[in-house]
């Protein structure tokens, strides 16, 4: 088994992007991410230590991973987050992070030292009452202030908005208007099904519906289709004359599985080959036993399905007996 083939699946897709959840804890309680009655947190001894995160990351980098994104939960609430970020920054990778933005001021210099240039901020409404409703917390003013701080500090800032019908789909234009004078990328994400998030298709705001709203507000000639990056999950656009841009991540209505290059590592050291997969390979026990995790990595990737963990049609994708077997989003890491 050649090492340079370990990150290739049965469909010839090479995986060079590792997303690592470093905690299941969060200082928000977003409705689409965490079940209303919360989750049973993994006992600390079963979670990856900082040393184990670095060790597994080094293995993946040696196999060809060039990009690592830290997620959670909320990654910045972990007590040793600064140490983890700085150590990962010494690897030869493009390091980035997804955060809710609340603790950003405490990490500005850490981000810079680690070489992080792009930061994704999750923010699902610009209206305080709705922000409070979806997060079950009152932090909108702080998050918006910290977005401006990141922009002043010259970070590339992406805003992640999960759209839910009859909740925030009437804010699509408001978010795009942010790009007029702010150099941000606004990213609209289709609402996806996970355990405990009360998903049904009637709540979905599709790619086509988003574009219909955009085209009703802006002249067709002013909506520029941008070149997507290789393996990009987003379809990228810009309004002519605006400083920033916007994008749509259409995992439900227009999946991008054929070019997927992502692997996910959960906070408890399990490898997921697809966001929607309920199949996981535990790496941690093998690592702690001093044995090689390479066969497990290969086993996980070679089992990857062609489309959304085998949910390759709309009927399967809407079947709660399938998606409810997956974890809640907060324990996957996005």
| Res. 250: pLDDT tops 50 | yes
Beta bridge partners of 158: 120, 185
pLDDT band at 2 (very low <50, low <70, confident <90, very high): very low
Euclidean distance between CA atoms 299 and 263, whole angstroms? 13
Taking only the tens place, the pLDDT of each residue in 87-144 is 999 999 999 999 999 999 999 999 999 999 999 999 999 999 999 988 878 899 999 9
pLDDT band at 41 (very low <50, low <70, confident <90, very high): confident
Query: What rounded mean pLDDT belongs to the chain?
Result: 89
Taking only the tens place, the pLDDT of each residue in 208-221 is 999 999 999 999 99
Interacting residues of 75 by C-beta distance below 8 A, sequence separation 6+: 21, 22, 23, 81, 97, 98, 99
Q: H-helix or E-strand containing 122?
A: strand 118-122
Euclidean distance between CA atoms 232 and 308, whole angstroms? 16
- Beta-carbon count within 10 A of 273 CB: 23
Cβ-count burial of 10 within 10 angstroms (0-12 exposed, 13-18 middle, 19+ buried)? exposed
Q: What is the mean pLDDT of residues 266-273?
A: 94
Q: What is the pTM of this model?
A: 0.90
Share of the chain above pLDDT 90, in %: 68
Interacting residues of 108 by C-beta distance below 8 A, sequence separation 6+: 149, 150, 153
The alpha carbons of the chain give a radius of gyration, in whole angstroms, of 19
- Compute the C-alpha angle 71/237/135, nearest 5°: 35
Euclidean distance between CA atoms 28 and 139, whole angstroms? 9
Euclidean distance between CA atoms 188 and 275, whole angstroms? 17
């Amino acid at each position: 088994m050649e090492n340079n083939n370990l990150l290739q699946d049965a469909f010839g897709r090479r995986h060079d992007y590792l997303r690592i959840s470093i905690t299941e804890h969060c200082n928000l309680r977003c409705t689409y991410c965490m079940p209303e009655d919360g989750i049973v947190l993994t006992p600390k001894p079963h979670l990856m230590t900082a040393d184990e995160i670095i060790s597994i990351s080094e293995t993946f980098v040696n196999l060809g991973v060039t990009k690592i994104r830290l997620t959670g939960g909320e990654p910045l609430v972990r007590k040793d987050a600064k140490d983890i970020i700085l150590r990962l920054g010494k690897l030869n990778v493009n390091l980035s992070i997804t955060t809710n933005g609340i603790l950003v001021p405490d990490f500005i210099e850490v981000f810079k030292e680690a070489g992080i240039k792009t930061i994704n901020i999750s923010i699902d409404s610009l209206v305080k009452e709705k922000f409070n409703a979806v997060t079950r917390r009152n932090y909108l003013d702080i998050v918006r202030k910290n977005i401006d701080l990141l922009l002043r500090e010259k970070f590339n800032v992406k805003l992640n908005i999960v759209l839910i019908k009859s909740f925030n789909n009437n804010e699509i234009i408001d978010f795009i208007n942010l790009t007029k004078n702010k150099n941000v990328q606004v990213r609209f994400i289709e609402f996806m099904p996970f355990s405990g998030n009360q998903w049904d298709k009637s709540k979905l705001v599709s790619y086509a519906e988003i574009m219909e709203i955009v085209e009703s507000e802006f002249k067709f000639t002013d909506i520029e289709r941008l070149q997507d990056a290789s393996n990009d999950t987003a379809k990228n656009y810009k309004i002519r004359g605006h400083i920033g841009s916007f994008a749509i991540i259409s995992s439900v209505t227009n999946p991008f599985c054929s070019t997927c290059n992502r692997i996910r590592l959960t906070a408890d050291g399990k490898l997921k080959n697809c966001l929607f997969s309920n199949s996981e390979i535990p790496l941690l026990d093998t690592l702690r036993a001093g044995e090689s995790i390479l066969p497990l990595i290969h086993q996980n990737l070679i089992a990857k399905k062609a489309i959304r963990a085998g949910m390759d049609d709309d009927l399967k994708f809407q079947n709660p007996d399938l998606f409810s077997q997956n974890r809640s989003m907060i324990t996957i890491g996005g």
